[in-house]
Every structure is written in C-alpha cells, then in structure tokens.
Structure 1
C-alpha cells in the first residue's frame, strides 16, 4: 500500500519530503496522481486502437500507443505539478486558463479513438453500406466502359425475337389447321369436318412453317452461341478490372473512413449525437479533473511549506547576489585605485627622466 501511495505521489508531481512532513495532504495528492495515471492509460488505449486501424498490426499499435500514453502522462503531470496555490484566487485561475485549454485539447484527442471503438458495430454497418455503394458505382462505371456487351446482348435479343415471331406464325397456322379439321367456320376455314383439300393445304403450310422455324432456330442458335462467347470474353475482362478495384473497396475501413462514418451517424441519429457529446464531455472532465482539484482545494500545509522553500531559495539568491555584487565592487575599486597609483608613478618617473636630460644638456 505504501508503494502504491508513493507511486501516485510521483504521478501527481508532488515533493516526497514535503508530503512526508504534511500527512494530511497525502490523500489529496494520491487522488490527483491516480487521475493523472489513469488519464495516461486511457490515452494509451485510445492511441493504440487508432494506430491499429492504421497499421492493422498489433505490435506497432502497442508500441506507439505506449509512447503516446507516456507522453500524455508526462504532460499532465507537468501541468498539475507546475500549478501553485496563491493567496489570490483570480491569480490562480489566470494561470490555470492556458493549462485548462491544453487539457481540453488533449481530452478531445484522447476521446475520439475511444468513441470509434464504442460505436464500432454501428460504424462497421455504415462502412458496409458504403462498400455496397462503391461496388454498385464501380460496376456501373465498368458497364459504361464496356459498351460492346450491351450491343452484343441487343443482337441476341433481336435473334430471339426473330425466332419468337416464327413460332407465333407457326402457332397461328396450327390453329387454322385444327379449325379446318374439326369443321370450325372462320374467315380462313371452310367449316367442313375432315381432311379435305383445304385441310391438306393448311397442313402443307404448317409443315413448311415448322421447317422454316427449325432452320431459323438452328441458324440463330449458332449465332447466339458465338455472340455469347464474345460476351463472356468481355465479361471476363470487366471482372478483371473489377477485381483490381475490389481490394481498395474492401480495405475502406481506415481511421479517416471511420471518423467520416461516425460523423454521418451522429447527423442521422440524435441519440448517437447526444451520446457522442456526453462521451467527449466525460473525457474532458477526466482530463481537467486534476487541475480543478488543485484550483478548488484549500491552501494546505504542503503549499505553505513549498512556498516557504521557494521563498528561501529566492532570499538565498538575493543574498548570493548581494555578496557577489559587493565582492565585484570591491575588486573594481581596488583595480581602479591601483591603476590610478600606477599611472601617477609612471608620470613622476617620466618627469624625473626629462628633468635629468635637461640638466645634462
């Protein structure tokens, strides 16, 4: 338990020696440190999932996710540890505003990949719909790129319609022949029962129509088989082009695609939009919690001792500066005094030498 407490003290960026002297502050900094630690863990999970969608490999995702979580942890720890409790509340808030803005930005970055994971099923369904649309568009574009298939299919329809017309003509002759045999009176029959002259003529016409139909069927079937073989060749080429495009469609599940799908889902569903906002607010609350804890907490013994220590450092710095400045001023005065004395001595020596030269002359 003691090790866990010290670990959370470390996460909060607090000074161990001061906390040991102020045991009443221990729980506060344990809570702050735990919040900073778990924020880093959530950041690592979020980054790991986001990078897994990019690399599609677990080990790079784990490595980069760990580094990202460590960076967020260190940044949060710095933000919290750099805050100081002041006597003036407005001064504290003024210093905390930039840190709060940074914490909100970090929360938005952390929350987005986890939102993608929470709404993964809905996003996958939306991506499947998109893939179906892309497949339909791809096939439509490929159909436009191979107009020969439509032309050949139109020829097959023409040949089949010729056969259908011949079958209709044969069926009509069959009806007239049957009516003539059974004595049905129509505009084209005599109304006499039996196989008379008219019945034989109609039978001959029916046989001729049947032979023509059989010949037309055989001839058109050969042409249809040839055209269908050509269609299969073009369809094979079209399938090859579609298979080239299919991997890009199947792999349409990257980070940008998922974020776009989430954006569309939130536009289509008010419930998802509300849930998305609440998740974002939750992470903002988690990320800014350590800062707000420092802001709303009372000024305690830890802050007093820490400020006293910092003030002592400032006073020590002033003393050292004054002492160093005094020594420097003394050295300057000594240098200036000795320099002046040396100049006067040199002048006196020069004057004596000049006077001696004059006396010699």
Structure 2
C-alpha cells in the first residue's frame, strides 16, 4: 500500500519529502495522482483504438497508444504540479485558466476515439449503408461506361421480338386452318367441314409459316448466341473494373469515415447527440478534475511548507547574489586602486625624468 501511495504521489507531481512531513495532505494528492494516472490510461486506450482503425495492426497500435498515453500523463502531471496555492484566489484563477483550456483540449482529443468505440455497432451499420450506396453508384457508373452492353441487349430484344411476331403469325394461320377444317364460317373460311381445296391451301400456308418460323428461330438464335458472347466479354471487362474499385469500397473503414458516420448519426438521432455530448462532458470533467481540486481545496500545510522551501531558495539566491556582487565590487575596486597607483607612480617617474633632463640642459647653457 505504501508503494501505491508513493506512486500516486509521483503521478500528482508532489514533493515526497514535504508530503511525508504533512500526512494530512496525503489523501488529497493520492486522489489527484490517481486521476492523472487513469486519465493517461484512458488516453492510451483511446489512441490505441484510433490507431488500430488506421494501421489495422495490433503491435503498432499498442506501441503508439502507450506513447500517446505517456505523453498525456506527462502533460497532466506537469499541469497539476506547476500550480501553486496562493493567498489571492484571483491570482490562482489567472494561473489556472490556460491550464484549464489545455485540459479541455486534451479531453476532447481523448474522448473522440472512445466515442467511436462506444458507438461502434451503430457506426458499422452506417458504414455498411455507405458501402451499399458506393456499390450501387459504382455499378451505375460502370453501366454508363459500357453503353455497348445496352446496345447489344437491345439487339437481342429485337431478334426475340421478330421470333415472337413470327410465332403470332403462325398461330393466326393455325387458327384459320383449324376453322376451315371444322367448318367455322368466317370472312376467311368457306364454312364447309373437311379437307377441301381451301383447307389444303391454308395447310400449305401453315407449313410455310412454320418453316419460316423455324428458320427464323435458328437464324436469330445464332445471332443471339453471338451477341450474348459479346455481352459476356463486355460484362467481364465491367466486372474487372468493379473488382478494382471493390477494395476501396470494402476498405471504407478508416478513422475519418467513422468520424463522419458518427457525425451523421448524431445529426439523425437526438439521443445519439445527447449521449455524445454527455461522454464529452464526462471526459472534460475527468481531465479538469485535478485542477479544480487544487483550486477549490483550502491552502494546507503542504502548500505552506512548499512556499517556505521556495522562499528559502529565493533568499539563498539573494544571499549568494549579494555576496557575489560584493566580491565583484571589491575586486573591481582593488583593480581600480591598483591601476590608479601604478599610473601615478609612472607619472611621477616621468616627471622626475623630465626635470632631470631640464636641469642638464640648463647646466649646459651655463
């Protein structure tokens, strides 16, 4: 338990030696450190899932996810540890505002991948709908890109229509022949039962129509088979083009696609939009909790000792600066005095030399 406590102290960025002297502050910094730690864990999970949707590989996702989690953990630890409790509340808030802004931004970044995971089923359904739309659109575009298929299919319909017209003609001749045999009185029959002259003529017409129908069927079937072969060739080309586009459609499962699907879902469903907002607010609350704990908590003995330690460092720095400044001034003064003395001595020597030369010159004149 002691090791766990010290670990959470480390996560909170607190000073161990001061905390050991203030046991009443231990629980507060354990709570702050635990919040920072679990925020880093959530960030690692979120980044791992987001990167898995990009790389589709477990090992890189785990590696980059841990790296991202450690980076978020370090930022949160820095944000919390750099805050100081002051006597003036407004001064604390001025220092906390940029940290709160950074914490909110981190919360938004962390929450988005976890939102994608929470709404994974709904997002998958929306992605399936989008893939279906892409497939239909792709097929429609390919159909427009191969007008030869429609033209060949129209030729087949024309050939089949010719055979159908020949069959109808044959059926009409058959009906007239039957009416002549059975003595049905019509505008085209004699009304006499039996195989008379008119019946034989109609039979010849029927045989000719049947023969023409069979020849037409054979001829058109050969044409239809040839055209269908051409259609299959064009359809094979069209299928090849579709298969080239298929991986892109099937691979429509990236991070941007999922975020777009989530955006569409929140637009279509108010419940989804509300859940999305609540999840985002939850992560903002988690991320900003350590900062607010420090802001709303009263100034404790830990803060007093920490400020005392920092003030001692400032005083020690001031003392060292004063001593260093005095020593420097003393050295400068000594240097200046020594320099001035040497200058005066040199001047005196020069003056003596000049006076001696002047006396020699005067003596020579005399």
TM-score (norm 2): 0.97
Match of 1:5 in 2: 5
Match of 2:309 in 1: 309
- Alignment partner of 1:187: what SS? coil
CA RMSD of aligned residues (A): 0.9
| Deviation of the 1:357 alpha carbon | 1.4
- Alignment partner of 2:27: what SS? helix
Report 1:104-123 matches (<5 A). 104-123=104-123
| Deviation of the 1:121 alpha carbon | 0.9
| Deviation of the 1:244 alpha carbon | 0.9
- Alignment partner of 2:110: what SS? helix
Structure 2 distance, partners of 1:306, 1:192, is: 131
Report 1:165-204 matches (<5 A). 165-204=165-204
Structure 2 distance, partners of 1:158, 1:238, is: 24
Deviations 1:220-251 (A, max 9, x none): 00010011111111111111111111111111
Match of 2:237 in 1: 237
| Deviation of the 1:147 alpha carbon | 1.1
Report 1:240-259 matches (<5 A). 240-259=240-259
Structure 2 distance, partners of 1:245, 1:330, is: 85
Unmatched runs of 5 consecutive residues or more in structure 1:
none
Report 1:227-306 matches (<5 A). 227-306=227-306
| Deviation of the 1:192 alpha carbon | 2.3
Unmatched runs of 5 consecutive residues or more in structure 2:
362-366
TM-score (norm 1): 0.98
Match of 2:138 in 1: 138
Structure 1 distance, partners of 2:333, 2:231, is: 108
Match of 2:364 in 1: none
- Alignment partner of 2:185: what SS? coil
| Deviation of the 1:326 alpha carbon | 1.3
| Deviation of the 1:185 alpha carbon | 2.1
Match of 2:340 in 1: 340
Structure 2 distance, partners of 1:319, 1:183, is: 141
| Deviation of the 1:183 alpha carbon | 2.1
Structure 1 distance, partners of 2:352, 2:239, is: 117
Structure 1 distance, partners of 2:184, 2:115, is: 82
| Deviation of the 1:97 alpha carbon | 0.3
| Deviation of the 1:174 alpha carbon | 1.3
| Deviation of the 1:190 alpha carbon | 2.1
Structure 2 distance, partners of 1:227, 1:150, is: 11
- Alignment partner of 1:70: what SS? helix
Structure 2 distance, partners of 1:356, 1:160, is: 145
Deviations 1:261-292 (A, max 9, x none): 11111111111111111111111011001001
Deviations 1:43-89 (A, max 9, x none): 00000011111111000000000000000000000000000001111
- Alignment partner of 2:132: what SS? helix
Structure 2 distance, partners of 1:310, 1:194, is: 132
Structure 1 distance, partners of 2:320, 2:227, is: 102
| Deviation of the 1:195 alpha carbon | 2.1
Structure 2 distance, partners of 1:229, 1:216, is: 20
